[in-house]
Structure 1
């Protein structure tokens, strides 16, 4: 078998280094290959209990959005019987095709339990409200109330990336750049992203809180 010497060896080594560098640059970066979506301040629509001023359940300061609700709070309007929430709906960026990604840096203080902190919501009036919700129970982030996504979520900033492939009907969750969960989901007509705190139906704490910064959307078609 002929040996590789001279220019061929140099070329192969250079190609190998290039591929290794590319792999390293994409490692821990789920948004590689996606296009960033421009978000305006008005795209962050706050939903909070209707019976108290928004400022008593939501704060935006120094680039950090802080959300909190109490277990006995009212819904976000008088027309719904849903549980208390203090959330942002990312409006104006509903989607029905392609691959979309939510990225944000989140923080859940110790004691928060029984709350959704991020969700992919279906269009209004859909048979199912969501295709993904990330709940926190006693310091563990879960897919709804089931599979564990990330343990020991309390009292630390984490980078959350959630990728939704509409055509494949799949979602994938990354925490701090590492793939932590993936599953197939039931398709719907259109979708949008939400984040904050939304009380769930069991193991709720008396007060639920999450904080978010550098929230970004990405897409590719």
Structure 2
């Protein structure tokens, strides 16, 4: 599978087994009922433009993954990994987006029955949007850390977004598929800044 979008991303691949049918209350606290899955380096795959050394688009220091990309970067290198396909799963991470980054996807759920992705969250002028359309959070998110939770109830077909513990958005998913969480930074199809950056720390995965 070749990702043809420009940019660079940190891939988080979750190695899982099938789970029984579960229900999830959309208004629940993002920590309720979930069990954290221990992560190792094997759970993280790094993706970069194919013609640039890793250290020119990525750094890791004091627990912070820093990723940056330019609008004219080449496409991604090939990345493959395992995924989840049923049950209820939660991604959690703290993100920092510097002022000036706009039109950048910072986190997604990759895979769907219809299309390539279940969820994309993008930053446009400091606001967070679902793809390019619906507003998720109108707060100016630039230059500060915030905690992002994505809860995907695959069996119920719902994705819920929490920002700093407050539910901000809920939507139906795009059908079951080979699913995994992905965070980092890469450009949207249009209206993007030339330089884009995001920083991530305290990345965790939970299941229910």
The TM-score normalised by the length of structure 1 is 0.78
Within the candidate set 104, 123, 127, 1:136 is matched to: 123
> C-alpha deviations, 1:171-198, integer Å up to 9, x for none?
0000000000001122122210000001
> C-alpha deviations, 1:150-188, integer Å up to 9, x for none?
121111100000000001110000000000000112212
2:117–2:174 Cα contact (<8 Å) kept: no
1:47–1:76 Cα contact (<8 Å) kept: yes
Aligned to 2:66: 66
Deviation, 1:115, is 0.9
Aligned to 1:211: 199
SS in structure 2 opposite 1:95? coil
Pair 1:116-2:96 in alignment: no
Provide the rounded CA distance (Å) in 1 between the counterparts of 2:147 and 2:80: 18
> C-alpha deviations, 1:18-66, integer Å up to 9, x for none?
xxxxxxxxx9941221011111012111101111101000111110000
SS in structure 2 opposite 1:214? strand
Aligned to 2:95: 106
> C-alpha deviations, 1:110-149, integer Å up to 9, x for none?
00011100000017xx641101000111111100001111
1:121–1:194 Cα contact (<8 Å) kept: yes
Greater helix proportion: 1
Q: Show structure 1 runs of 4+ deviating over 2 A.
A: 89-92
SS in structure 1 opposite 2:66? strand
Q: Between Structure 1 and Structure 2, whose CA radius of gyration is higher?
A: 1
Higher relative contact order (CA 8 A, sep 6+): 2
Aligned to 1:55: 55
Provide the rounded CA distance (Å) in 2 between the counterparts of 1:142 and 1:213: 21
Aligned to 1:176: 164
Provide the rounded CA distance (Å) in 2 between the counterparts of 1:214 and 1:192: 18
1:44–1:90 Cα contact (<8 Å) kept: no
2:65–2:201 Cα contact (<8 Å) kept: yes
Change (3 A) 1:61 1:104: same
Pairs within 5 Å for 1:30-109: 30-77=30-77, 91-92=81-82, 94-109=83-98
- Gaps spanning 5+ residues in structure 2: where? 1-26
Aligned to 2:21: none
Aligned-residue RMSD, C-alpha: 1.9
Within the candidate set 164, 172, 182, 1:194 is matched to: 182
Provide the rounded CA distance (Å) in 2 between the counterparts of 1:190 and 1:73: 27
